[in-house]
Amino acid sequence: MPITEFLTKNANLYPDDVCLVEINPELDEEHGVTWKEYELVETKPNSGYRREITWLDFECQSNRFANLLTVKGVKKGDKVAILLMNSLEWLPVYFGALKAGAVVVPLNYRYTADEIKYCLELAEVSKLVFGPEFIGRVEAIYGTIPEVNEYIYVGQDCPTFATDYEVLAQRCSKKPPLVKITDDDIAAIYFSSGTTGFPKAILHDHRGLVNACVVEQKHHGQQKDDVFLLIPPLYHTGAKMHWFGSLISGGKAVLLKGVKPEWIIEAVSKEKATIVWLLVPWAQDIMDAIDRGEIKLENYELSQWRLMHIGAQPVPPSLIKRWKSFFPNHEYDTNYGLSESLGPGCVHLGVENIHKVGAIGVPGYGWEVRIVDTENNEVKPGEVGELAVRGAGIMKCYFNDPEATANTLKDGWLMTGDMARKDEDGFIYLVDRKKDVIITGGENLYPVQIEDFLRSNKKIKDVAVIGLPDPRLGEIAAAIIEVKQDAQLTEKEVNEFCVPLPRYKRPRKIIFAEVPRNPTGKIEKPVLRKIYAGERLVEQQTTK
C-alpha cells in the first residue's frame, strides 16, 4: 500500500479534524504581538501567526498539486524537488508529488546556489518548488540546468521567472489523480547530510516510506489524540519519519518555526502537545533557560506532555538525568537511523529501557543489526566494529553512483560507517563515525567518548572533538568548546577537568569557539577541520 493511502484514509475518517498547525512566533514579534497572547489578536485564525488545515484540506491540496504536475507534463518517475522552509504547504506539496507518481526530492534549505544546482543535476530534477527565502539562490541558477523546465513558487509576490503555485493549483481538480502507484515504485530521493563530504542522492521506494510509518507508530504508540510538536526541518528524513507516526494514527502535528526555549515550552502548553522530538542542543537550551529563571514551568500547562525523545546524535546520560530532574513524569526514548535507512528507528532504545541511557538501543521493529570487523565478521560483545543494519527501510541505491552503492550495500546489509559496540545485554552503544576516529601515536581515539566526558562540565554548552595533524603523533585530539551563557572557562580549568581521562584521551589542544551544527543537530566536523586543520599546532602539556 503506497503511503499516500494513509492520507486518503484520514481525510475520509476525520475530514474536519485539524491535522497540521503552523506557528510562527518570530512573525508575531515582528508585528509587535506577544505570542502568548496570539488568541487575542483580532485576525482570522489563518492570519500568519497561527495557521491550520484539516485532513480534508490536506487531501484536497495534495490532489490539486498532483493534478497540476500532471497538467504540466510530469510523468511517473519524473523528479520534483522541494526547497521550502517548514510550512503548511510543505507536506501537501510532498504528497501531491507522490500522488502524481513523481519522485519527490527534498532539498536542504541551507544549500548555497551551487549546492542546489549540484543536487538538481545529480537527481535529474525536472520541476523545482521553492519559497520566498530562496528567490536569490534560485534566480542565480535559473536557466543553467536544462533538465529543470519549470520553477514553481510558493508564496506572495511570485518572481517573473517562476509560475505561481497558488494560482495554478486552484485551477486544478481536487479529485485524486488517475495514477496507479505500487509499493515497488520509487518514491523519493533524499540527500545525505553532507557531514562527511558532498551529499549523495539516496533512492527510496514507497515500501520503505510505509515501513517508516509502521516502525515509528510501533515504537511510540501514537494515538488519535496525540499531538506531535515538530521542530526540525521537513526536508530531512528524521523529522518527517517521526511525523509519520501521526499520519498512521490520524493525530495532529504542530509545525513550530523557531527553536527558542520559551517558544518550545509555549507551544507544548498552548497546543497541548503530548510528544516532542528534540535535538541535544535544544534540550540543553531549555534546561539552561529554566535554570536562569527565564522559563518558570509552573506558568505552563505541561501535564499532557508524555514523551520527549532525542535523535540525530549520541545522547549524554548526564543530559537525560538532568532532564528527568525537571520533568520526572516524562517517558524518554532515543532512536538511531540514517537517511539511507529512511530516518530513525533501525535501532531503538525504547521507553522501558531508560536504565540503559547512553545506548542507542536494540534493533528496531522489523530490523536486524550486526557489528562487524573489517572482514565483515561479527565481533564479540564489548568489541568495537562497524554497525550494519538490514530491513525494509534500506535505500535502493545511491542514485547515479554505483561505486558508492557497492561500498555501502553488502549482501543486503547497509554499512552505516558508524563504529559501535554491544554490551552483555545486547544493547548497542555508538562509539563514533568511522571517518572521525583519531589515530594518535598508534592509539584509536573515539571523539564521542571525549565529548560525552567534557559535556558533564556544567560550564560547557557544547563540544566537538576533531583530529588535527601532528608531525610526531600523526594526529592529536582538539576540543572545540562552546561555553554556556554567562559562564567563564579557561584552558587550565579544562585541562584539570580532563585529568580523570587516560592521558592519551585528553585533548591536546583547546579551542573556545561556537560548535557548528547542521539543521538536524549533527556537528559539522568537516567545517571545523577546514577552519582549524591548517593551523600549526603545538602540543600542549596537560596538568597531572
Secondary element (H or E) of residue 287: helix 280-291
Q: Using CA atoms, how far apart are residues 229 and 226, in angstroms rounded to an integer?
A: 10
Q: What is the dihedral of CA 212, 83, 9, 179, to 10 degrees?
A: -100
> How many Cα atoms are found within 13 Å in the side-chain-facing hemisphere of 125?
30
Of 232, 289, 238, whose CA–CA distance to 260 is shortest?
289
DSSP secondary structure code for residue 503 in this structure: G
Measure Cα distances from 222 to 114, 230, 274, 366 in Å. 40, 14, 10, 18
User: Around Cβ 294, how many Cβ atoms within 10 Å?
Assistant: 12
The residue with cell 532539498 is 107
Provide the pLDDT for residue 538: 33
With vertex at residue 102, the alpha carbon angle to CA 173 and CA 6, rounded to the nearest 5 degrees, is 70
What's residue 543's pLDDT? 27
What pLDDT sits at residue 134?
Answer: 96
- Cα 183 to Cα 207: distance, rounded to the nearest angstrom: 5
Q: Half-sphere exposure (CA, 13 Å, Cβ side) for 518?
A: 23
Rounded Cα distance, 114 and 112, in Å: 5
| Grid cell listed for 295 | 522559563
Q: Which domains does the chain have, with CATH numbers?
A: 4-258 (3.40.50.12780), 307-433 (2.30.38.10), 439-532 (3.30.300.30)
Task: Return the DSSP state at 64.
Answer: H
Q: What is the tens place of the pLDDT at every residue in 33-43?
A: 454 544 434 33
| Cell representation of residue 307 | 514523551
| Closest C-alpha among 483, 370, 468, 354 to residue 428 | 370
Taking the model in full, what pTM does it have? 0.82
Ranges in the chain, pLDDT < 50:
31, 33, 35, 37-47, 195-196, 535-544
The predicted structure's pLDDT at residue 139:
97
